[in-house]
C-alpha cells in the first residue's frame, strides 16, 4: 500500500463562516467541511461578527475531518489560515477577544478618518503631505469610506474607549485565528497592508514606518510583530491540538488573507494573469512586478503572499451577496407570501429562471451597491436599484439583471485594472461560488468581452491557495509549479452577438452611477459620516 499523501489543513474564514479542508501538497482537496456564523449589522454602517463563533465553527468543521482518519495525523504537515480581510479583533494579553470583531463591511469609523487623513492643502480629501507619504511608502491610503482597520481602531478609540484601552493588540481576522492556534501575536506583511502603516517600497524588507504610524495615530505597541505569509510562525498549542484533533506541535504557517490566497489558488501566479472571484464580495486582480497606486480608482500594488511579489488590490463589496439578497428578501422570504425557509436549491432555481430572459434583460439594469462600494469608487452611500422596469418586466428579467449588474460593475473595475497594468487581460480565471453557474460564466465573458476560464473545483480556490502558500513555505512546492496544479475546467468565449447590447447597457450603468451619487449622499448621509 502506498504511503498517505502529505497534507495541509487549510482554514478559510469567510464572511458567511469557515471552510476547513484537507489539501494535499499537489492541491487535491481530500475532504472539506463548512459551518455558518452570524453577521450582525447595525445602523450607521455597523458590521460585526463574534470571534468565539469563528473558533467554535472551525473546531466543529475540523473535528469532522480529522475524526474520519483520512490520513495519519503525522502526514498533516501544517495548518494554514486564510480569511476575510480588513477586519479588526481587539484582544487582551491572554489572547481573549474583547467583544465582537469589526469586519470589512463596517463603515462606522468613516467620520474619524478625515482627522488623520486631512491637512491644510487637500487632494481628494487627503492632506497633500500625508498623501504623498502614504502613496510613496505603502502604495495606498486609508479609505475615506471607513471600511479598513484604521477607521475601525479610530471608532473604538472614540466610541468604545474601554475596549481600546484594554486592547493589548489589534489583530486581523486571520492573525487572530493564528493566535488561537499558536498563542503568538503575529501579522503577516500582506495581512497588515490595509492598515497603511508599513513601508512596502522594498518588497523584501517590509516594516512598520514611524511616520506612517504617527500620521495614522495607530500605536505601534498595539500592533503585532510581522512575519511573511510563507513563514512558520509557531506550532499548535496543546489545547488547540486537542480541540482540532491534530498532533500537538503541528506547524502553523503565517498564511494570507482571502484575496492573495485566491490569487494563488486560482493558478494565476504569473505577472498580469488575471483572476475573478465572485463570492459574497468580488474582486478582479493579478500579480504585478511593480509598486504602483491609482488613487482615482482606489487600487494599489500590495504585498502578495508569494515571496518578493506584489498584486493589484481591489474589491467589489457585494456580488454573490446580491443573489443571496434576491433569494432571501424577494423570492423566498419567510413571510405571509412565502412561509418557511428557502429551498436548498433556491439559487439553482434562480439561475434557471434567469436563463429564460434574453441577454441584456430587455434593458433592465441592476446596480449592485447593496452596501456601498469600495472600488473602483469608494462610496459607502451608494445603494442598489433596478432601472428601466416596465409592466413587461418579469421575475426572470430581474434575476438576470442582478447577475448582469454584478458583471457591469466588474467591467467598470476591469477598466481600472487594465489601465493599472498597461495591457488587456488575455483571459481571466474564474473562481468562487459564482463560477459554478454556467450562465454567470457566459454573462461575464460577454459583458467583459474576455475569455473566462473556470478553474476546476472553483469553490476550493481559497483553501487550495492557503495550502500552496504553506507548501511553498515548507519547501515542498515551487511557485512556478502552482499553475500546472490548477487545471481549467471550461473556457467561455465572448458571444459576439451580445457585444453591442452589453456595450450600450454598460454605458447606461455608468450614467446611472453618475446621476445617483448625489441622491445616495443625501439619503444615506449616516453611511458616509457614521
pLDDT above 60 for 496: yes
Give the up-direction half-sphere exposure of residue 412: CA atoms within 13 A in the CB hemisphere: 29
Range of lowest pLDDT (209-213, 315-319, 450-454): 315-319
Q: State the Cα–Cα distance between residues 329 and 342, nearest whole angstrom.
A: 10
Q: Determine, yes or no, domain membership for 489.
A: no
Query: Mean pLDDT lowest for which of 217-221, 311-315, 429-433?
Result: 311-315
Range of the domain at 220: 7-255
Question: Is it the case that residue 188 has pLDDT exceeding 80?
Answer: yes
Q: Which residue bears the cell 495525523?
A: 73
Mean pLDDT score across all residues of the chain:
94
What's the mean pLDDT in 13-22?
Answer: 95
Asked whether residue 371 carries a pLDDT value surpassing 60, the answer given is: yes
pLDDT digits (tens, 9 = 90+) for 79-129: 999 999 999 999 999 999 999 999 999 999 999 999 999 887 788 789 999
User: pLDDT grade, residue 529 (50/70/90)?
Assistant: very low
Cα–Cα nearest to 100, from 39, 150, 17, 43: 39
Mean pLDDT over 235-253 rounds to 96
pLDDT digit string (tens) for 475-493? 999 999 999 999 999 999 9
**Residues β-bridged to residue 24:** 7
415 occurs within a structural domain: no
For residue 8, give the nearest of 84, 92, 50, 65 by alpha carbon: 65
Kindly tell me if the per-residue pLDDT of 1 is higher than 60: no
Give the distance from CA 10 to its chain's centroid: 17
> Which of 116, 134, 141, 151 shows the shortest CA–CA distance to 44?
151
Sheet holding 299-303: strands in order across?
287-288, 310-313, 299-303, 293-294
- The verdict on residue 195 lying in a domain is yes
Q: What's residue 377's pLDDT?
A: 82
Instruction: Establish if 496 belongs to a structural domain.
Output: no
Task: Convert the pLDDT of each residue in 131-155 to its tens digit.
Answer: 999 999 998 889 888 999 999 999 9
DSSP label at residue 327: I
Q: Above pLDDT 70, what percent of the chain?
A: 99
What are the pLDDT digits (tens) for 381-393? 889 999 999 999 9
Q: Is residue 164 part of a domain?
A: yes
Read off the pLDDT of each residue in 17-29 and give the average, rounded to a whole number. Answer: 97
Q: 89-91 and 169-171: which strand pairing?
A: antiparallel
**How many folded domains does the chain comprise?**
1
195 CA to centre of own chain: 15
88 assigned to some structural domain: yes
- The answer as to whether 222 is a domain residue is yes
pTM: 0.90
- CATH at 159: 3.30.420.40
Q: Is 346 among the domain residues?
A: no
Rg for the chain, CA atoms, rounded:
22
Amino acid at each position: 500500500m502506498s504511503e498517505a499523501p502529505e497534507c495541509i489543513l487549510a482554514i478559510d474564514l469567510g464572511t458567511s463562516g469557515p471552510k476547513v479542508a484537507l489539501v494535499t501538497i499537489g492541491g487535491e482537496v481530500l475532504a472539506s467541511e463548512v459551518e455558518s456564523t452570524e453577521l450582525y449589522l447595525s445602523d450607521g454602517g455597523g458590521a460585526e461578527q463574534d470571534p468565539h463563533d469563528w473558533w467554535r465553527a472551525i473546531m466543529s468543521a475540523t473535528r469532522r475531518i480529522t475524526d474520519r482518519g483520512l490520513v495519519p495525523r503525522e502526514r498533516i504537515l501544517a495548518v494554514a489560515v486564510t480569511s476575510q480581510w480588513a477586519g479588526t479583533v481587539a484582544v487582551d494579553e491572554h489572547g481573549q477577544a474583547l467583544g465582537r470583531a469589526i469586519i470589512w463591511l463596517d463603515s462606522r469609523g468613516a467620520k474619524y478618518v478625515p482627522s488623520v487623513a486631512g491637512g491644510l492643502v487637500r487632494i481628494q480629501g487627503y492632506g497633500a503631505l500625508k498623501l504623498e507619504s502614504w502613496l510613496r511608502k505603502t502604495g495606498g491610503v486609508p479609505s475615506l469610506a471607513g471600511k479598513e482597520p484604521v477607521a475601525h481602531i479610530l471608532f473604538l478609540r472614540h466610541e468604545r474607549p474601554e475596549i481600546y484601552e484594554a486592547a493589548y493588540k489589534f489583530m486581523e481576522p486571520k492573525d487572530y485565528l493564528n493566535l488561537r492556534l499558536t498563542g503568538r501575536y503575529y501579522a503577516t506583511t500582506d495581512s497588515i497592508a490595509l492598515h497603511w502603516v508599513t513601508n512596502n517600497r522594498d518588497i523584501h524588507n517590509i516594516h512598520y514606518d514611524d511616520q506612517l504610524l504617527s500620521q495614522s495615530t495607530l500605536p505601534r505597541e498595539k500592533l503585532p510583530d510581522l512575519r511573511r505569509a510563507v513563514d512558520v510562525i509557531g506550532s499548535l498549542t496543546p489545547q488547540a491540538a486537542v480541540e482540532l484533533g491534530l498532533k500537538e506541535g503541528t506547524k502553523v504557517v503565517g498564511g494570507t488573507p482571502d484575496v492573495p490566497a485566491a490569487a494563488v489558488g486560482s493558478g494565476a501566479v504569473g505577472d498580469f494573469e488575471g483572476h475573478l472571484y465572485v463570492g459574497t464580495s468580488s474582486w478582479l486582480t493579478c500579480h504585478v512586478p511593480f509598486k504602483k497606486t491609482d488613487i482615482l480608482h482606489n487600487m494599489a500594488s500590495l504585498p502578495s503572499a508569494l515571496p518578493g511579489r506584489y498584486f493589484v488590490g481591489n474589491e467589489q463589496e457585494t456580488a454573490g451577496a446580491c443573489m443571496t439578497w434576491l433569494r432571501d428578501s424577494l423570492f423566498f422570504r419567510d413571510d405571509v407570501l412565502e412561509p418557511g425557509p428557502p429551498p436548498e436549491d433556491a439559487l439553482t432555481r434562480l439561475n434557471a429562471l434567469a436563463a429564460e430572459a434574453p441577454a441584456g434583460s430587455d434593458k433592465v439594469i441592476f446596480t449592485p451597491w447593496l452596501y456601498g462600494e469600495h472600488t473602483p469608487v469608494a462610496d459607502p452611500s451608494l445603494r442598489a436599484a433596478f432601472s428601466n422596469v416596465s409592466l413587461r418586466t418579469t421575475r426572470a428579467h430581474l434575476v438576470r439583471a442582478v447577475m448582469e449588474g454584478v458583471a457591469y460593475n466588474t467591467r467598470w473595475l476591469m477598466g481600472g485594472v487594465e489601465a493599472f497594468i498597461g495591457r488587456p487581460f488575455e483571459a481571466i480565471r474564474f473562481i468562487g461560488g459564482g463560477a459554478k453557474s454556467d450562465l454567470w460564466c457566459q454573462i461575464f465573458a460577454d459583458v467583459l468581452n474576455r475569455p473566462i476560464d473556470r478553474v476546476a473545483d472553483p469553490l476550493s480556490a481559497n483553501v487550495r491557495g492557503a495550502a500552496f502558500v504553506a507548501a511553498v513555505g515548507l519547501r515542498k512546492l515551487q511557485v512556478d509549479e502552482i499553475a500546472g496544479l490548477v487545471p481549467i475546467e471550461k473556457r467561455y468565449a465572448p458571444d459576439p452577438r451580445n457585444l453591442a447590447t452589453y456595450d450600450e447597457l454598460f454605458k447606461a450603468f455608468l450614467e446611472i452611477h453618475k446621476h445617483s451619487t448625489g441622491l445616495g449622499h443625501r439619503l444615506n448621509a449616516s453611511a458616509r459620516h457614521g
